[in-house]
Structures are given as structure tokens and as C-alpha cells.
Structure 1
Amino acid sequence: MNKRKKITMKLISTNIAIYVILILFILPFLWMILASFKTQQQILDTSNLFGFTPNFDNYISVFTKYAFMDFIVNSFLIAVASTFLGLLLGLPAAYAIAKYKQNGLGLLILIARIVPGISFLIPWFIIFSRLELIDTYTALTLSHTLVTMPFIIWVMIPFFESMPGELEESARIDGCTTTGAFLRVILPISGPGMITSSILAFIFSWNNFMFSLILAGEKTKTLPIAVFNFLSYSEINWGGLMAASVIITLPVLVIALIMQRFIIAGLTGGAVKG
């Protein structure tokens, strides 16, 4: 009985802790959504959180006054391009590091990921200025790849290390080269790791502020930079700011929810038995 009571108490404590953490994470997001449907006066009135009449003026203003659709397109194109480029360069690099035990190279890539991004801003700015690439998709894609590629590499290294070496050996016996075995055998069963790293890399690029602040201009301004349109010296447009924040957050949530099904399906249906 004592053992059962201990197990029950442990389960109750665990559930309470989960709910507390969940509430702490959900409350700010809930407040952001509610505030996006309020007027400036209603937002500043903290005595009445739920008693208000929703309106869509903030969202209308975001798309009419601030042309947010252009910023969404810019962010999406840059995030997709930098994620694709990160996968194109990162997957072979991760496989080579895992296969040939290149721990030194892996450590160097990890250091590049740990170093604050602001350290690269001046070199990036000088290089792209001389190449006349400031305010171009090329500059932003390459700079965001600096964030996405090391992350993809470090997510995929353990994934490749866990694969049986017999897979590549079997492919080599059937006549494949190392590259052929990687493309035809290893990558097709690496779907879960690729999807996971792609989602997170996309999110990092989508939310990147620092590189876009320096390298973007009017043509390539992204969503995090566009949020500054709601901040002024004398006043903060809280309604517009909250609506813009919802617009920034919503695509990432939708993508994560959709891709989660494929991650689970890949983990359960594509498992490799040794």
C-alpha cells in the first residue's frame, strides 16, 4: 500500500508540475491573442482581461497600413532557402563527421554555432557591401545559413551514428559508391531526423532578427524587423504589435503541428532493426 501511495503521489506531483509549466507557457501566448483583438485603451486596462468586444482593426491595420504580406513573403522565402541550403551542405557534412569520426571538425562547427551571431555581422556587412549584395535575398539566405547549417549538422550526427554500418556495406556490395549509398540508402531512412532539423532550422531563420536588421533593406525586410514599425518614441501600438506577433507565430505553429504527424510516422514505420 505504501508503495502504491508513493507511486500515486509521484504521478500527482508530476502532473501538477506539467500543468504549472504548461500554464506558464500558454498564458503569455493567450494574452497576446486576446490583446490582438482589443483597442489600445482595452489593452492598457488590466482590470478587465476577458470582458471586451473583439474587433479585427489591428489585423486590418497590419495588412493595409504596414503591408505585412510583403514581409511574410520575404521571411518565408529566406527561411525556406536557408533551410534548404543548410540541408544541402549539412547532411553530407554530418554523415562524413559521423562515419569518419571527425570529432575535431564537429567541435569546430559547434564553436561556430555557439559564437554569438553579432561576431559575424561586421565581416558579413563588409563582404556583402563590396559585392553589392546588401538588401538582397542572397545576403540574407547566406547569413541565415550560418545559423541553420551548424544546427542541422549537430542534430543529424547522432542520427547517422546510430545507423548500422551494415546498411552502407550492403549498398556497396550491390555496386553503390559511398555517395550512392548515402543518397539511395541512408537519406531515405533519415526522414525523421531531417524533418525535425528542418523544422527547427526554419524556425531559427524565421525568427532571426540580428542579421536581418543589418543586411536587409526596404525590399527584403523580414517580419521581426517589421515589428519595429509599431514602436515609436512617444507611444507603442500594443494592438498592432500583438496582431503582428500572432501573425509571426502562427505559421510556425501550423508547420510544427502538420510535420509532427510525419515525424511520428517516420519513427514508428521507418525504424531499422539491427
Structure 2
Amino acid sequence: MSSLTVTKNVAATDAAPQMRKRSKTGRGYRIFRVLALVFVIVMFIAPLVWMVLASLKTNVDIYDSSKTFLFDPTLENYGTVFGRANYLGYIFNSFWIGFASTALSLLLGVPAAYAMSRFTMHKSAVVVLLARVIPGVSLLVPWYFVFSQLKMVGGFGVLILSHMFVALPLIVYIMMSFFDSLPIELEEAAQVDGLTPIGAFLRITLPLSTPGIATAGILSFIFSWNNFMFALVLSGSKTKTLPVAIFDFVAYASIDWGGLMAAAVVITVPIMVISLFMQKYVVSGLTAGATKG
């Protein structure tokens, strides 16, 4: 047997334990990844499942642990929500405030983000980022004082403006990253063909930025739909939104858990449906700037 053959056999013998060790390590990592994924899914799904099941139970069944999954379902809670609680009006209020604040924020935020991106307005971007991280709750008292002096508290206008304070920086922040990922050569080529800078933005850049606009709009609408604190302080009896209306099921001495969970389902389902149908836009918009450079 030649020395070369012996060397190969020795190398193969030494490599075999390493390959088995790597295989065990890879198998252990895959098992850990699956377990971690299952844990995250269960932690996310379990409250939603409990909420839906509780919305189909009476208050007595909700407190009975033996009827967690086996019980006689009832739609009485949903009848309470849509019958006595005027939730159709609250749904309209939430949709209108969310749509108006999102549309106005997009109208102002998209051109602002484009200007900051193309003209490298770093100081303005820092201001936008600061507005993004400032807690909106800290501004509720000044807002209430100013808007009460203007006699706007209780109307749709004050709610739309307050939601825009958070939605506008969010939209600008997302769209700046998206515009940074688009090559400026496309706009320069369009201007060579005779378009003005505004025309290049409207006819070239804006259509290409549809995924980013959809992402920013969806996230802005979700924030407005779920917002509680602004509506609690600034809304009136005719402009009450769904998150605030849930408090109708919380009394001083008791809580109507069945009605509360049914109302929570009513709030959650529209957002989940929108998120599922618009998922591809959200993912593409959020990852658009990740591959820049």
C-alpha cells in the first residue's frame, strides 16, 4: 500500500468524527429552531384563540375552567355588541379617522420623504426621527388645552390631527429608506427625455414606490385603528372609536367578559384581514432599503 493511500485513509478517519459532530450540531440547531418557532406561534395564537372562544361563551362559562374548549356556543355577545352598543357607528368612526389621517399623512409625508432622500436633508431626518420616538402621551395635556381653546375637542378634526402626529413621521421614516433604495439614474434619464424633476417624480419614482407607500399606509392605518389614548381624551360621544367603546363593557363592580371579547374580535378581524391580503406589500416595503449598496 502506497504512502498516499495511507494518508488518504488517515484523513478520512479523522474527518468522520468531525462530520458526525457537525451533523449532530446541525440537527440540534434545527430542533431548537422548530421548538422556538412553535413557542412563538403558540404565544401569539393562544390569546387570540381564547378571545374568540370567550366571545362565544356566557360569563358563567368563561369563569368555568372545565369548559375551556367544550361548551355550548352562543352569539348573544355579538348581538349585544351590534344591537345595544351601537358598534356600527363606532366602526364607521374608526374607519373614517384611520382613512383620513392616513390619506393626509401620505399626501404630506411621501413628497417630504422624497425631498429628504434626494437632497440628503440629514438634519430634517433627525427631527423626523425625534418626532417618531417622542411618546404621544406626553403631548396629550398640551393638545387638550390648545384644542379646547379652539373648541375642537370632541370632533373628527382633532382626532385626525392627533393621529397624523404619529403617522406622519412613521410614513416619512419608511419612505426615506425606500427612496434611498431606488436608483437616481432612472430620474436623470427621464429628465434627459424632457421631463421636469416633478414630472420624473410623479411618472417614474412614485409608481415604483407603490410597495413602500402601501406599507406606510397600512402601518399608519393600523396605528389609527388601534389607538386608544388619543381617542379617550379627545373624542366625544359622537366621535367615539372602537377601542374607547370597549369600556362600555367595564362597569364599576363587574366586567362583561363575553361582550368585551366579542368587541375585541370585532376590532381585531378587520386588521387581520387587511394584513393578510396586503402582506406582500408590507414585507417588500419594509425590506426595500435592506439591500441598498
What secondary structure, in the 3-state scheme, does the structure 1 residue paired with 2:68 have?
coil
1:162 is the counterpart of 2:181: yes
2:167 equivalent in structure 1? 148
1:209 equivalent in structure 2? 228
In the TM superposition, what are the counterparts of 1:259-270 in structure 2 within 5 Å? 259-262=278-281
1:113 equivalent in structure 2? 132
1:270 equivalent in structure 2? none
2:151 equivalent in structure 1? 132
Q: How many pairs align?
A: 270
Deviations 1:61-104 (A, max 9, x none): 01111110100000000001111111111111111111111121
In the TM superposition, what are the counterparts of 1:8-87 in structure 2 within 5 Å? 8-87=27-106
1:121: Cα distance to partner? 1.5
1:184 is the counterpart of 2:203: yes
2:242 equivalent in structure 1? 223
Deviations 1:188-227 (A, max 9, x none): 0111111111111110000111111111101100001000
Residues of 2 paired with 1:232 and 1:210: CA distance?
19
The structure with the largest alpha-carbon Rg is: 2
Residues of 2 paired with 1:231 and 1:266: CA distance?
39
Aligned amino acid, residue 210 of structure 2: G
Aligned amino acid, residue 174 of structure 2: V
Deviations 1:14-44 (A, max 9, x none): 1111111110010011000000000000001
Residues of 1 paired with 2:123 and 2:66: CA distance?
57
Residues of 1 paired with 2:281 and 2:162: CA distance?
29
Residues of 1 paired with 2:229 and 2:191: CA distance?
45
TM-score calculated relative to the size of structure 2: 0.87
1:264: Cα distance to partner? 6.9
Residues of 2 paired with 1:164 and 1:106: CA distance?
20
Residues of 1 paired with 2:159 and 2:259: CA distance?
26
Q: CA RMSD in A?
A: 2.0
Residues of 2 paired with 1:111 and 1:76: CA distance?
28
Residues of 2 paired with 1:53 and 1:81: CA distance?
42
1:198 is the counterpart of 2:211: no
Gaps of 5+ in 2: 1-18, 287-291
Deviations 1:99-141 (A, max 9, x none): 1111211111111121111222123223322332222111111
Aligned amino acid, residue 144 of structure 1: H
Residues of 1 paired with 2:248 and 2:280: CA distance?
36
1:263: Cα distance to partner? 5.4
Residues of 2 paired with 1:151 and 1:70: CA distance?
28
1:7: Cα distance to partner? 2.2
Equivalent pair of 2:212/2:285 in contact (CA under 8 Å): no
State, as a whole percentage, how many aligned pairs show the same letter. 49
Aligned amino acid, residue 126 of structure 2: L
Residues of 2 paired with 1:25 and 1:255: CA distance?
18
Gaps of 5+ in 1: 268-272
Residues of 1 paired with 2:206 and 2:265: CA distance?
35
Q: Which moved more, 1:35-44 or 1:148-157?
A: 148-157
